[in-house]
Amino acid sequence: MKRRDFIGTSAAASVGFMASAKTGTGTNLSEKPFKLKHNINHSACYWCYGSIPFETFLQELNKLDIRAIDLVDAEQFPLLKKYNIHASMCWGAGLGIEKGWNDPQYHKELIADYKRVIPLVAEGGYTNLICFSGNRNGMNDMVGLRNCAKGLKEIIPLAEEHGVVIQMELLNSKVNHKDYMCDKSEWGVSLCETIGSDNFKLLYDIYHMQIMEGDIIRNIQDYHQYYGHYHTGGNPGRHEIDETQEIFYPAVMKAILETGYTGHVAQEFVPSWEDKIAALKQGVTICDV
């Protein structure tokens, strides 16, 4: 399942159990002793596991001691309370990835929708609410930046009042989200500076930014004050984050910790293994530095 459809401990240790997790033979990873350090606050994006019923997935998170979930809306908050799972990134406002804040024709609807959802997020006891720039559709990037700032400034006072942080996701425009405007850190940082509020940040997706700009650790070091949340994913393919792909996640996680970051890192790879929970467990283990 692609994310847009849903919207509208180490790498070495992984080698020994990869085959059994994929085929369902041998030792089941989920049966191995497991204890997280929690230096990294772990989360997982439910859309990647949409074939698993939501409540069942929450039960699996409890078993893995993963204490947060990403990309959930207010209708799902009661079940989160039942299983003591935190909503580390909320959604439920907006018109999707392609129709975003860079186009003034959507501002009226977006402003009304975010003003509706921001209080719901706060009432649930949560902080982060995702947003998107939208596609360029021939628009100059600086024009789009000014349009985003103008529209977002209409909701930021309400976000500040409720303690909610609006987070615009950095996505690649090369492979997955053709023509998406907020596709590089420098553009997103310029938008943050233009808005000038601690209640507007960037959701730094490591997979997407590896495709668009690379230099992941240096960018985290240079721009971490603008990054309010992190997503993982293996490149190429957006699958498991083990040695089958090019990003060395333990080093990236250490770099994030060294910035003093205390938010969540959410696994957002699409499992290719037959045992999807085992794949999630492996990803969290790799990131649990």
Q: What percent of the chain has pLDDT over 90?
A: 88
In whole angstroms, give the CA distance from residue 185 to residue 221. 12
Spatial contact of 289 and 250, defined as CB atoms under 8 Å apart: yes
In whole angstroms, give the CA distance from residue 259 to residue 225. 8
* 264-267, strands of its sheet edge to edge: 41-44, 264-267, 227-231, 200-205, 165-169, 128-131, 86-90, 68-72
pLDDT-derived band at 26 (thresholds 50, 70, 90) equals very low
pLDDT-derived band at 34 (thresholds 50, 70, 90) equals confident
pLDDT at 105: 98
226, 230, 232, 238 alpha-carbon torsion, rounded to 10°: -60
Spatial contact of 284 and 36, defined as CB atoms under 8 Å apart: yes
Residue 161: domain span: 3-15+38-287
Q: Which two tokens stand for residue 127?
A: 């902080």
Residue 46: closest CA among 16, 15, 68: 68
pLDDT-derived band at 18 (thresholds 50, 70, 90) equals very low
- Per-residue model confidence as pLDDT tens digits over 69-93: 999 999 999 999 999 999 999 999 9
pLDDT at 32: 56
Spatial contact of 208 and 229, defined as CB atoms under 8 Å apart: no
Q: Is residue 27 in some structural domain?
A: no
SS3 of residue 219 by DSSP: helix
Strands 200-205 and 227-231: parallel
Q: Which two tokens stand for residue 144?
A: 């789009």
**Residue-wise over 10-28: b if at least 16 C-beta within 10 A, else e?**
ebeebeebbebbbeeeeee
Q: Is residue 102 in some structural domain?
A: yes
Mean of pLDDT over the chain = 92
Query: Whose structure tokens read 């018109």?
Result: 95
Residue 7: closest CA among 99, 82, 78: 99
Please indicate whether residue 19 or residue 266 has the higher confidence score (pLDDT). 266
In whole angstroms, give the CA distance from residue 70 to residue 46. 6
Q: Is residue 112 in some structural domain?
A: yes
Q: Is residue 188 in some structural domain?
A: yes
- Per-residue model confidence as pLDDT tens digits over 106-148: 999 999 999 999 999 999 999 999 999 999 999 999 999 999 9
End-to-end CA distance of the chain: 29
Spatial contact of 211 and 180, defined as CB atoms under 8 Å apart: no
Q: Is residue 148 in some structural domain?
A: yes
Q: Is residue 283 in some structural domain?
A: yes
- Per-residue model confidence as pLDDT tens digits over 202-217: 999 999 999 999 999 9
pLDDT at 11: 37
Q: Is residue 30 in some structural domain?
A: no
Q: Is residue 261 in some structural domain?
A: yes
Number of structural domains, the chain? 1
Domain containing residue 249: CATH number = 3.20.20.150
- Per-residue model confidence as pLDDT tens digits over 230-276: 999 999 999 999 999 999 999 999 999 999 999 999 999 999 999 99
